[in-house]
């Protein structure tokens, strides 16, 4: 576990010098508490590069309150064992003060108006904090490839846009969402749900399936079908359900035809779940 920026730079330089010329470096950024979804990201990174760097940093800028930040699960021993089994080359796990002295950033990356939509409407601080630390990590590691999961499409879209706008020389690779048998995306939250809440959470991917199945009609039909799949389940508190253009991440225009993304977010058992599905509106 590399704790400081100085050590990261030294170890990265050594790894690059020891590797064959042209060896690529991949970065997988995480906030720890690793699960099967992270395992898939790391395997995707290994397919793309000869040197895999994983960051494990609980970013305080992503949380609304200090209490939420402190409550986030931390499993450093289990994470280290998993990363060793996966053959990760370098693990950057700094303390908060190493990247964010005094727990804040004096210079920030702004997600703009899109950062206040969907997830940003629920957590208006979230994407600015996320992008700020992602920019730091990309600048420190200078990877050839950075791997992100498709489950959080808004994050991926904003990171891609930041990379384009700030001229980071890195390829963004997306890994498919890893799902449990009932279709719910794997996350740290699943283990905290009781049986009834877990059954309710399984309705969220079904709602997305219903949206996709009705995409041959129109966007309103997609949304109505998804809403119908959730009706009667009082354990679900729907936060948003939208169909967006993947090129702009803005709501599709009336009469839209072609590729689109159905986005959903809801609270179940006191935990938030975010998911999405590719659809084709005809």
Q: Is 188 annotated as a binding residue?
A: yes
Is beta strand 90-92 parallel, antiparallel or unpaired with respect to 271-281? unpaired
> Is 275 a known ligand-binding residue?
no
Q: How far apart are CA 171 and CA 146, in angstroms?
A: 6
Q: Is 87 exposed, middle or buried (0-12, 13-18, 19+ CB in 10 A)?
A: exposed
Q: Which residue has the tokens 């508490």?
A: 33
The answer to whether the annotation marks 16 as part of a ligand binding site is no
Residue labelled with tokens 């599709």: 252
Q: Which of 35, 38, 66, 256 is catalytic?
A: 38
Q: Is 150 annotated as a binding residue?
A: yes
Contact between residue 149 and residue 177 where contact means Cβ atoms under 8 Å apart: yes
Residue 35 falls in the annotated catalytic set: no
Is 106 annotated in a binding site? The answer is no
Q: Is 153 annotated as a binding residue?
A: no
189 marked ligand binding residue:
yes
Q: How far is CA 17 from the centre of its chain?
A: 31
Two structure tokens written together for 277: 């599905």
Q: Is 180 annotated as a binding residue?
A: no
Binding annotation for ATP: 149-152, 178, 186-189
Binding annotation: 149-152, 178, 186-189
Give the catalytic positions in this structure: 38
């Amino acid at each position: 576990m590399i704790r400081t920026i100085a050590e990261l730079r030294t170890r990265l330089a050594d790894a690059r010098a020891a590797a064959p010329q042209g060896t690529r470096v991949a970065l997988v950024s995480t906030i720890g508490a690793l699960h099967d979804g992270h395992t898939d990201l790391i395997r995707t990174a290994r397919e793309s590069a000869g040197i895999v760097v994983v960051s494990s940093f609980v970013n305080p800028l992503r949380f609304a309150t200090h209490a939420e930040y402190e409550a986030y699960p931390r499993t450093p021993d289990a994470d280290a064992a998993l990363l060793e089994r996966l053959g990760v080359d370098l693990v950057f796990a700094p303390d908060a003060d190493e990247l964010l002295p005094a727990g804040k950033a004096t210079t920030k990356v702004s997600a703009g108006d899109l950062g206040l939509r969907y997830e940003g409407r629920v957590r208006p601080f979230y994407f600015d904090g996320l992008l700020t630390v992602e920019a730091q990590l990309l600048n420190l590691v200078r990877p050839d490839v950075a791997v992100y999961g498709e489950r959080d499409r808004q994050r991926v879209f904003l990171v891609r846009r930041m990379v384009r706008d700030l001229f980071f020389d890195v390829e963004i690779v997306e890994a498919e969402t890893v799902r449990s048998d009932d279709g719910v995306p794997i996350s740290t939250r699943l283990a905290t749900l009781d049986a009834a809440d877990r059954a309710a959470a399984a309705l969220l991917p079904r709602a997305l399936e219903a949206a996709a199945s009705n995409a041959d009609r129109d966007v309103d039909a997609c949304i109505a079908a998804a809403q119908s799949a959730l009706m009667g389940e009082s354990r679900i508190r729907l936060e948003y359900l939208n169909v967006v253009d993947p090129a702009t991440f803005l709501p599709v225009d009336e009469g839209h035809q072609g590729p689109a993304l159905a986005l959903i977010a809801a609270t179940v058992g006191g935990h938030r779940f975010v998911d999405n599905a590719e659809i084709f509106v005809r």
